[in-house]
Amino acid sequence: MTSEEIFAKLKEKFGDKILETDTEAVQPIATVDPASIAEVCEFLKNEPDLDFKFLNCLTGVHINKVEEEEEEKLRVVYNMESLVIKHKTALDVIVPISKPNVPSVTSVWKTANWHEREAYDLMGIVFDGHPDLTRILCPEDWEGHPLRKDYVVQEFYQGMKVPYPEEEPKQEEKEEK
Amino acid sequence: MPEIKTEDVYIELGRHPKAGFAAEDLILQMGPQHPSTHGVLRLECVTDGEIIKKAVPKIGYLHRCFDKHAENENWQQVIPYTDRIDYLASMNQNFSYAITVEKLMDIEIPERAEYIRVIVSELQRIASHLIAFGTYGLDMGAFTPFLYAFRDRETILDFFEKICGGRLLYNYIWIGGVSHDLYDGFKEECMKFLDYFEEKIHNEYNPLLSFNKIFIERTANVGIITPEQAIDYGLTGPCLRGSGIDWDLRRDDPYSIYDRFDFEVIVGKGEKGTVGDSWDRYMVRIWEMVESIRIIRQALQQIPEGDIISEKVGKVVKVPKGEVYGRTETPRGELGFYLISEGGKGPARLKSRSPCFSNLCVIEEMSQGYMLADLVAILASIDIVLGCIDR
Amino acid sequence: MTETLTNPVLTLLRLIPGVETLSDGMQVLLSGFLAGVILFAFIAVFALYAVYLERKVAGHVQDRLGPMEVGWHGLLQTIADAIKLLNKEDFAPKDVDTKLFTLAPFLVFMTALSVFVVFPYDSQVSIANLNIGIFYVIAISSIAVPAVIMAGWSSNNKWSLFGAMRSAAQIVSYEIPVGLSIICVIMVVGHMGMQEIVEFQGGGFWKWVIFRSFPFNFIAFFIFFLGSLAEVNRTPFDLPEAESELVAGFMTEYSGMRWAFFFLAEYGNMLAVGLVGAALFLGGWQPPFEFLSFVPGWLWFILKALVLIFVQIWLRWTLPRLRVDQLMYVCWKVLVPFAFVCIIGVGLWEVLT
Amino acid sequence: MGRYFRDIYISVFTVLKGMYVTMLHFFSKSVTVQYPKERLEIPKGSRNQLLNIIEDCIGCDQCVRACPVNCIYMETIKSFEGDELGETSTGRKKSLWIPSFTIDMAKCCFCGLCTYPCPTECLIMTDVYEYSKHDRNDLIFEFADLDPIKAAELREKDAIRKKEKEAAKLAKLKAKEAAAKAKAEKEAAEEGKTPEKKPEDNPDKKTDNSGEENS
């Protein structure tokens, strides 16, 4: 099925919960209201002629500030695919940075478990209902979320100096010799 | 400082009978430094004697924040970083990054470059599967297959060194084509190697390890992944095909010129045990090497003359604004890149969806009830590379 | 059989002047001590060159050359290794049960060493010709089990404990098939002394026990060989020090000279098993054909043992490793039943013919 | 019962087949090379240690920008009048002194991206791969061959020149403000006649100033 039909089916089932759909772009994508992302994914997976049983990728994105007054936004993109009907689609969800809560889709696809933990770890998006939302790549007690645009590396981690010494390695030694 | 009694520490950690922890359970850290975890992976196993109750993988020891690096580099400079995601199959990593960017730029690649790309990534698939075969034998205690595998892999590395200069990390497939042309003696040498290698698979690797009864006993009916479980956990590549699902990106979502070659997609049929056990995943890799040989032979015959990089890509690569998810079939599965570009000097956001990351997360549920030695067999059958998991 | 066999070591001892003055008991004690020194030297030298042989065979099997650097074609390589191990720091990890930790390697090496006392090196030459020779060998080889558990438990490391438990289970359970296959031999020969067993097999290779009561003793030999492989922890039964799972099993925490003792014990056991196999089944120092008897007997004995050792090494570089429960399956479900069948077969054969 | 015997038969058969394969290899030729004595020859284009032929280097900074791990550090000083810098081997006039050109081989990732944009092909990848050192700082290779005294002297001249430039810029700025102030007073004098014209040309003047300061 082409992405128009898929989005049409979604709109007809979920109505206003599908905020906007963009089919001309290189990758057609539908923005979904954050609260209902779990139901939409459940529908996409169990609907016989959609059959999106395979979640390819779940990406956390930090949209940089476009207008002055609004606060920054975080975005989660879901790429999914059906191995039987061989068609794929993409959904995304936009949440403000102050309240980055997105319902977890681990109940729909088990592969989302680790992908969501990684999005939480690197981007700071909190997935409600996730079985064990802990850091997966950085150490458990690491501060801050590295992939955010405003991320500053912490000075010390358990007494070890973190930032790489920035000064030129060459110049000083040359003079001293 | 009050003297800390080890018993209190254990109680506080909940690993003491007073803290309700069964006496015979043993917490075993199959730690980051262990001969058969294929890299720095820590498996925290709760074992009852030799039987594993729970094995929780802890990853992140080799996390080099590829996504963060990609944001500060321009389009061309990201390629050496993609080499290092799955350092055993760097050609395929460059290939999928180049495919993603070209999908966004929507440019045409010269024919010869397309053929070189296919030849080179199929050679890399053979080299990577050779490592999987060698380390599997090593984990099962047979030393010799590992050295036979590396002896044959040396010839492939020599080809790559003559073509592009690197032996393990190549920075060879660029956006818009490839960086160097094939050296002139390549075709005959490669043909000779392929004949030699195909004969080696059939009457050296298989009798020595694949059909050895002890090896079959150790791997058949061990680590069974059902097809539903495989799809649900997002497994891809030989792990997915080992569970009987006929899905190969090279045929089902053909990128570059893979639709011009006829090759067979190998699917696990459960010859020696049930479908989806470790032996199936292992045999899928062995027969995939034979298929790759077929592809390379066809590509070597049909390769045209011509230039190797498209003119439209100048010194500075310009990519229009947009988002795309591009992927290719690497030896370990589907490596996908979710690329967001704001038309700037480099990618705004580049998320790498690595195959081993999803392939490993099935181990927690699947390894219950097996013995410690089976855990090693299961790990080797999923063929994980820690660079690919931690990125 | 002459009971008052002249003890070669005793005669050797008497060569030293001023020994006759000591009392008889002291002389026997000293000869025992001298025998220990000779055996230790023999095993140490042999173990060094067994390691060299193993690395060379491994090399050539894997299309490479093995050690080539030290000495001509690496002949001095293992001596260099031994010296390196000698001056390595004598390190024991923290909170290790030091008494057991230090005792274990010597106990393991003691069992390997004490088995050699009873072997018939040549027609009259053996250090102590016990009339219960082969029974003594089986008894001694089971002393290694507590020593291995001692090593595993005292190094306070979960992996070593796993290795020790596996090794104990393996050695204990593989003694049964080895014992049963030896019973087949004793039934044919009728005597337990090693010297007498070898003399029984005189006169050409068709007289060897392996070809007596044909199918059964032949199978008994293979059961013995497989069982002894397991007792020596060699592939495909090298579970206790399975590199890929338990790092090095009970030997993980040992380094330097203590580890060298374990290593020496392993190769000593390998030689011991080869020699027992040669003595019991392949006619010890008896030449395969009468007209070849000008070659000294002990050379035949060593040659046959070397053939068996070569096969053990060859197996190590070909086969993967068994899992613990498969190991037990092979022992109890395959080797022991076949051993029983062989015993019945040999028994009937002896009675009928 | 059948399976039991079939299993035994298969295991004995496959073990013997495996031993046959390894026995074949026991007699085949070894494929290894005794490294320190014999060496494999390195193909032409192989990427090992970087080398910069400093005579041809014109200090164009392309390689520093192209390096993904920023491991090339280069310091260039514009040539003063009357300095004789000589030409590159291809006869191209050199205009920049290079007191120091270092490559930190410990950081280098051997991708070769720096060798492609080099206009004079002076930065090449040699086939030297045995350059391991004990101390990581020794891996920082210095390629510039300017003797330290000349380099120090050049640096002073450069510092002086920079100060003069700063002073000149400051002076120009002051002169511009003075002119602007003078113009403002003149307009204030005419203000009585045409009040509305003044506001729109004031902002352009302001932007010129700020534009200038930024450059």
Each domain of chain C, given as residue ranges in start order, spans 43-87, 95-352
State the smallest CA–CA distance between residue B361 and chain C in angstroms. Answer: 21
> How many other CB atoms are found less than 10 A from the CB of residue A33?
14
CATH code for the domain in which residue D137 is found: 3.30.70.3270
Q: Does residue A174 sit at the D interface (CB-CB below 8 Å)? A: yes
CB contact residues (below 8 A), chain B span 69-88, against chain C = none
pLDDT (average), residues B325-336: 93
- Cα separation of B133 and B146, whole Å? 7
At residue B3, does pLDDT exceed 90? no
Which pLDDT band holds residue B20 (cuts at 50, 70, 90)?
A: low
Interface-testing mutation among C323, C329, C330, with chain B (most B C-beta atoms within 10 A): C323
Question: What are C27-46's pLDDT values in tens digits?
Answer: 878 888 888 898 899 898 99
Q: In chain C, pLDDT over 70 holds for what percent of residues?
A: 97
Q: Do the Cβ atoms of B322 and A26 come within 8 Å?
A: yes
Which pLDDT band holds residue D192 (cuts at 50, 70, 90)?
A: low
**Residue B22 has what pLDDT?**
61
Q: By CB neighbour count within 10 A (0-12 exposed, 13-18 middle, 19+ buried), where does C218 fall?
A: middle
At residue A172, does pLDDT exceed 50? no
What's domain B66-390's superfamily in CATH?
A: Cytochrome-c3 Hydrogenase, chain B (1.10.645.10)
The residue with greater pLDDT, D66 or D211, is: D66
Which pLDDT band holds residue A105 (cuts at 50, 70, 90)?
A: very high
- Cα separation of B23 and C35, whole Å? 49
Q: Do the Cβ atoms of C321 and B140 come within 8 Å?
A: yes
Among the partner-chain residues D25, D27, D30, the one whose CB lies closest to the CB of C65 is D30
Based on the structure, what is the number of domains in chain D? Answer: 2
Each domain of chain A, given as residue ranges in start order, spans 3-176
- Give just the sign of the alpha carbon dihedral D100, D103, D107, D108: positive
Q: Does residue A111 sit at the B interface (CB-CB below 8 Å)? A: yes
State the smallest CA–CA distance between residue A170 and chain D in angstroms. Answer: 8
- In a shared domain, residues D140 and D172: no
- In a shared domain, residues D165 and D99: no
- Cα separation of A106 and A115, whole Å? 9
> How many other CB atoms are found less than 10 A from the CB of residue B24?
7
Which pLDDT band holds residue D193 (cuts at 50, 70, 90)?
A: low
- In a shared domain, residues D81 and D157: no
At residue B153, does pLDDT exceed 90? yes
Q: Do the Cβ atoms of D21 and B162 come within 8 Å?
A: no
Q: In chain A, pLDDT over 70 holds for what percent of residues?
A: 92
- In a shared domain, residues D136 and D155: no
Which pLDDT band holds residue C3 (cuts at 50, 70, 90)?
A: very low
At residue C22, does pLDDT exceed 90? no
- Cα separation of C186 and C132, whole Å? 11
pLDDT (average), residues B308-337: 89
In a domain, D168, yes or no: yes
In a domain, D54, yes or no: yes
Among the partner-chain residues C63, C68, C333, the one whose CB lies closest to the CB of D25 is C63
In a domain, D88, yes or no: yes
Among the partner-chain residues D4, D26, D34, the one whose CB lies closest to the CB of C61 is D26
ipTM higher than the 0.90 cut: no
Q: In chain C, pLDDT over 90 holds for what percent of residues?
A: 35
From chain B, pick out residues whose CB is under 8 angstroms from the CB of A73.
none
Long-range own/partner contacts, residues D126-132 (CB < 8 A, 24 or more apart): D126/D48, D126/D49, D126/D50, D126/D51, D127/D42, D127/D46, D127/D48, D128/D48, D128/D49, D128/D51, D129/D42, D129/D48, D129/D49, D131/D49, D131/D105
DSSP class of residue D172 equals H
- Cα separation of C43 and C119, whole Å? 13
Among the partner-chain residues B76, B83, B166, the one whose CB lies closest to the CB of D47 is B166
Which region among A130-139, B9-18, B359-368, C208-217 has the lowest average model confidence (pLDDT)? B9-18
pLDDT (average), residues B187-215: 93
Return the axis-axis angle of helices C144-154 and C256-281, rounded to nearest 10°: 160
Q: Could you give the C-alpha distances from B105 to B110, B200, B312, B324, D170, in angstroms and in order?
A: 15, 42, 10, 10, 47
**Residue B14 has what pLDDT?**
63
Chains A and C touch (3+ CB pairs under 8 A): no
Mean of the per-residue pLDDT values of chain D: 83
- In a shared domain, residues D55 and D142: yes
Which region among A69-73, B146-150, B152-156, B233-237 has the lowest average model confidence (pLDDT)? A69-73
Question: What are C150-193's pLDDT values in tens digits?
Answer: 998 998 888 888 889 888 989 999 999 999 999 999 999 888 88
**Residue A106 has what pLDDT?**
92
- Structural domain harbouring D107: 50-146
Each domain of chain B, given as residue ranges in start order, spans 6-58, 66-390
**Residue D204 has what pLDDT?**
44
Q: Does residue C8 sit at the D interface (CB-CB below 8 Å)? A: no
**Residue B32 has what pLDDT?**
87
- Cα separation of B365 and B383, whole Å? 17
State the smallest CA–CA distance between residue C109 and chain B in angstroms. Answer: 25
pLDDT (average), residues A9-37: 88
Q: Do the Cβ atoms of B60 and A90 come within 8 Å?
A: no
Question: What are B297-310's pLDDT values in tens digits?
Answer: 999 999 999 888 88
Q: Do the Cβ atoms of C63 and B218 come within 8 Å?
A: no
**Residue C130 has what pLDDT?**
84
DSSP A142-174: --S-TTSTT----SEETTEE-SPP-S-HHHHHH
Question: What are B236-270's pLDDT values in tens digits?
Answer: 999 999 999 999 999 998 888 999 999 999 999 98
Do C223 and C280 form a contact (C-beta atoms < 8 A)?
no
At residue A169, does pLDDT exceed 50? no
**Residue D198 has what pLDDT?**
45
User: Which of the other chains make 3 or more beta carbon contacts under 8 angstroms with chain D?
Assistant: A, B, C
Q: Do the Cβ atoms of D142 and A170 come within 8 Å?
A: yes
Q: Do the Cβ atoms of D73 and A170 come within 8 Å?
A: yes
- Cα separation of C279 and B256, whole Å? 68
At residue D153, does pLDDT exceed 90? no
| Closest residue on chain C to D21 (Cα) | C318
What is the CATH code for A3-176? 3.30.460.80
pLDDT (average), residues A116-132: 91
**Residue A170 has what pLDDT?**
42
Question: What are C58-102's pLDDT values in tens digits?
Answer: 999 999 888 888 888 888 999 999 899 888 888 888 888 888 999
Do B357 and A121 form a contact (C-beta atoms < 8 A)?
no
Q: In chain A, pLDDT over 90 holds for what percent of residues?
A: 37
Question: What are A85-97's pLDDT values in tens digits?
Answer: 889 999 999 998 8
CB contact residues (below 8 A), chain C span 62-101, against chain D = 62-65, 68
Mean of the per-residue pLDDT values of chain A: 85
Question: What are C323-348's pLDDT values in tens digits?
Answer: 888 999 999 999 999 999 999 999 99
**Residue C6 has what pLDDT?**
55
At residue D75, does pLDDT exceed 60? yes
User: Which of the other chains make 3 or more beta carbon contacts under 8 angstroms with chain C?
Assistant: B, D
Q: Per DSSP, what are the bridge partners of residue D75?
A: D100
Among the partner-chain residues B151, B165, B208, the one whose CB lies closest to the CB of D21 is B208
- Cα separation of A64 and C312, whole Å? 67
State the smallest CA–CA distance between residue C230 and chain D in angstroms. Answer: 16
From chain D, pick out residues whose CB is under 8 angstroms from the CB of A169.
73, 104, 137, 140
In a domain, D44, yes or no: no
At residue D199, does pLDDT exceed 50? no
pLDDT (average), residues C227-237: 88
Which pLDDT band holds residue B124 (cuts at 50, 70, 90)?
A: very high
| Closest residue on chain D to B207 (Cα) | D18
Interface-testing mutation among A3, A22, A26, A118, with chain B (most B C-beta atoms within 10 A): A26
Q: Could you give the C-alpha distances from C108 to A49, C32, C135, C233, in angstroms and in order?
A: 69, 20, 19, 13
**Residue C128 has what pLDDT?**
81
> How many other CB atoms are found less than 10 A from the CB of residue C119?
27
Task: State the DSSP H helix or E strand holding residue B283, giving kind and residue range, or none if neither.
Answer: helix B278-302
Q: Do the Cβ atoms of D19 and C57 come within 8 Å?
A: no
